[in-house]
Chain A
Amino acid sequence: MSTFNRRSFMKAGGALVGALLAVGVISSHALAADFPTAKVNTTGLAVTDTTVKVGILHSATGTMAISETGSIQAEKLAIEQINAMGGILGRKIEVIQEDGASDWPTFAEKSKKLLVKDKVAAVMGCWTSASRKAALPVFEKENGLLFYPTFYEGLEQSKNVFYTGQEATQQILAGLDWIAKEKKAKTFYLIGSDYIWPRTSMKIARKHIERNLKGTVVGEEYIALGDTQFGSVINKIKLKKPDVIYAAVVGGSNVAWFKQLNAAGLNSAKQTMLTISVTEDEVLGIGGENLAGFYSAMKYFQTQTNPENVKFVEAFKKRWGKDAVIGDVTQAAYLGPWLYKAAVERAGSFDVDKVQAALPGYVLKDAPEGPVTVEANHHLTTKLRVGKWRKDGQADVVYTSGYIKPDPFPKGYQ
């Protein structure tokens, strides 16, 4: 992550004789002196001469801990790396971690605690849309700053939130285009868990399939969260024989879905499936043998071979164990602290309004997924990748799209 440091090094270099540069501690003190606290913090945030407090707000307990643990790990890793290179404007990041406990009102309550009591300068957090929707009013009222990592349904844009995951159209359209072209697919069966993200996503997918791809949707189905019995649904699919199953099943249901699909003889040799809800994290539970040959559309896969990613994977495993895997959202969560650092440095201030204004237009060149651009709508321009799952739980990237601009309020898809 060397380029992050270039600006700070130049500043420090101006202030100090070259010999002192080699000593990180001294240079960061000097840097902090360049930016007196009274100037960079005019709104009473928890920023001192040597530290800045940043919140992490995810579910460490409860159902969602399965998914959110990876995000916590990625954010902590990024923060440790930032601290190791001197922090932000010479101030070390001090993490205050709160547990949303998979309970949406708790997210709101803890957001309030972080913003009002701890006065954190920014929060990395939330995972499900429900938790974000619960916390959002607090962030808007207290004028906080939230970096949100999950790919989600879109239809939202707040000046207090930066969305480091993809919104729905970024994840859906290019993936469908690819599979329609690659597999000559004409008929699609849509299946998802029954809540806002899959339903919004499928709505967009259906419009795109019917209008732009001239295909047919032969079935659309939503499964109650946590349901593990797919016998009837699988039989319906067998009767309809779709060219492609397009799936957004989440959580415990996901595992049952793939296991039963295989057991019913619908493996990847017989059935093409593209999912938008399976990352390396989910594969741990599903088992690679149940997934092998199916496709996922994501912006990031752990097997990407660009040097930034190789370095990231290595650091992640070193910090969290060699068995740790990195899914799409984990990588997106890793971007949060780096984007925040860049924003503060561009603004030359920790003040929320200045930081918000400074980030759009910024290109994070050495993100593990490849360069991303922060757009004026607070979402990122990214690429979309299609991965084909292997038995060992990793995916081979078979398709990479061009850059896709975020469009959280897609016209004609609602």
Chain B
Amino acid sequence: MFDYSMAEIGNIVVMQGFSGLSMFTVLLLMALGLAIIFGQMGVINMAHGEFMAIGAYTTVMVSKLAANFGFVNYYFIFAILIAFVLAFAVGYFIEFIMIRHLYKRPLDTLLATWGLSLVMQQIFRSTFGAKEVSAELPEWMLGSFKPTPDIDIPINGVFVMFLALIVTAGVYLFMYRSRWGLRVRATVQNRVMAGAVGINTAKVDRMTFALGCGIAGIAGAAFTTIASTGPTTGTLYIVDSFMVVVFGGAASLMGTIASAFGIAQAQSILQFFMTSSMGKVSTLLVIVGILMMKPEGLFASKLRK
């Protein structure tokens, strides 16, 4: 490492720091929706990745429309909104026909949603074809932002970062500062009691599940800026999503944030000093080690069992 000048090393430190932050926000976006569905409701949603794919395909479609009608520069805002609405609507529907019958059988939701994920993958394949597609990115999102000639900060990374911030803030406000959030938390803590004080728990469940799916849709839309979209795109994200949520402690929003940050930084730094695959393996080993000592994750919820 010593045959480089201080300036070079400084630049790399800056870019490497950003790359860690960028990975953090990607993991956070992935995991937020799942933190609500799995963390709050206890539903093991194996189809979470496919809800991201809904968002991603929506973005690709909107980008095609945008290219035809010439609003390429700002279509992304619409794409994100439509992705949220669509994923929300599909989630709402799925909760209605499937999930609500399985709340008392949590392990069966695992099987059912896994089946759902396969069905959705095949629907994507039949509708959009087996080949991977990409959204056409607006010109301003390509390339990098250069504070000095030797530092490149990818603009799509900055974009994902801001989006993650906004969504996280939104989820926080919703869960902890709104009537709806209050009802959700009440239902999570004690379903019978919540029902007794007049909360329509079935409705709360449906909205919560749909919200989690909607956020997955936003995440999927954001990821079109860094990767491509195919029928099995969702499977790339599902493992990381669960890892972040479980490591953070299932029922805690703070836990999810802390866990995404920790995993991203560890992985990013280790991958720089080791090879990429070794970096990933080491990160996973550390996670397994910590989970063995703290099976509830970093931030265990303080529920009475």
**Do A and B interact?**
yes
Binding site for B on A (CB under 8 A): 60-63, 65-66, 69, 194, 220-224, 226-229, 231-236, 238-239, 252, 255-256, 259-260, 262-266, 281, 284-287, 289
A224 touches B276 (CB 8 A): yes
Q: A224-B276, A229-B23, A252-B230 are in contact. List 13 more A-B contacts (CB 8 A).
A: A60-B130, A63-B232, A66-B131, A221-B276, A231-B157, A232-B19, A238-B12, A255-B227, A260-B154, A263-B156, A285-B132, A285-B228, A285-B230
Residue of B whose beta carbon sits closest to that of A267? B143
Which one of A259, A281, A284 has the highest number of Cβ atoms from chain B below 10 Å of its Cβ? A259
The segment from B169-177, B190-198, B267-275, B291-299 found at the interface with A is B267-275
Q: Roughly how many angstroms separate A2 CA and B125 CA in the complex, as a whole number?
A: 37
| Complex Cα gap A161–B267 (Å) | 42
Which residue of chain A lies nearest to B15 when distances are taken between CB atoms in the complex? Answer: A235
Q: Are A252 and B132 in contact (CB under 8 A)?
A: yes
**Contact A285 to B152, CB < 8 A, known contacts A222-B275, A252-B230, A263-B143:** no
Chain B residues with CB under 8 Å of A285's CB are 131-134, 228-230
- Decide yes or no: A238 and B15 within 8 Å by CB, A221-B275, A232-B271, A233-B271 being known contacts: yes
| 17 A-B residue pairings within 8 Å (CB atoms) | A222-B276, A223-B277, A226-B235, A232-B19, A235-B16, A255-B227, A259-B156, A262-B143, A263-B226, A264-B15, A265-B143, A265-B152, A285-B131, A285-B228, A286-B134, A287-B134, A287-B136
- Asked if B181 lies at the interface with its beta carbon under 8 angstroms from chain A, I say no
- Residue of A229, A235, A256, A262 near B12 (CB, 8 A) is A235
A236→B12 CA distance, assembly (Å): 8
Chain B 217-252, CB within 8 Å of chain A: the 1/0 string? 000000101111111110110000000000000000
- Min CB distance B54 to A, Å, is 17
Chain B residue nearest to A228 (CB atoms) is B227
**Which of B137, B155, B157, B232 has the most chain A CB atoms closer than 10 A to its own CB?**
B232
Query: What class of interface size applies to chain B in its complex with A?
Result: 35 or more
CA distance A3 to B100 in the complex (A): 65
Q: Return the chain B residue nearest A265 by Cβ.
A: B152
CA distance A287 to B136 in the complex (A): 8
B146-A232 in contact (CB<8A)? no
Q: What 0/1 pattern do residues 121 to 134 of B give for CB contact below 8 A with A?
A: 01001000111111
Q: Is B20 an interface residue (CB 8 A)?
A: yes
* Residues A232 and B154 in contact, CB atoms below 8 Å apart: no
- In the bound complex, do residue B227 and residue A232 qualify as a contact, i.e. CB atoms below 8 Å apart? no
How many angstroms from the CA of A309 to the CA of B180 in the assembled complex? 63
Q: A227-B280, A231-B268 are in contact. Are A255 and B142 (CB under 8 A)?
A: no
In the bound complex, do residue B277 and residue A194 qualify as a contact, i.e. CB atoms below 8 Å apart? Answer: yes
For residue B28, CB closer than 8 A to chain A, the reply is: no
Q: Which of B227, B267, B272 contacts A236 (CB 8 A)?
A: B272
Q: Contacting B26 at CB < 8 Å: which of A63, A66, A229, A284? A: A229
Closest chain-B Cβ to A102's Cβ sits at a distance in Å of 9
User: Chain A residues with Cβ under 8 A from B146's Cβ?
Assistant: 265
User: Least Cβ distance of B265 to chain A in Å?
Assistant: 11
Asked if B132 contacts A66 (CB within 8 A), the reply is: yes
Q: Does B178 contact A (CB under 8 A)?
A: no
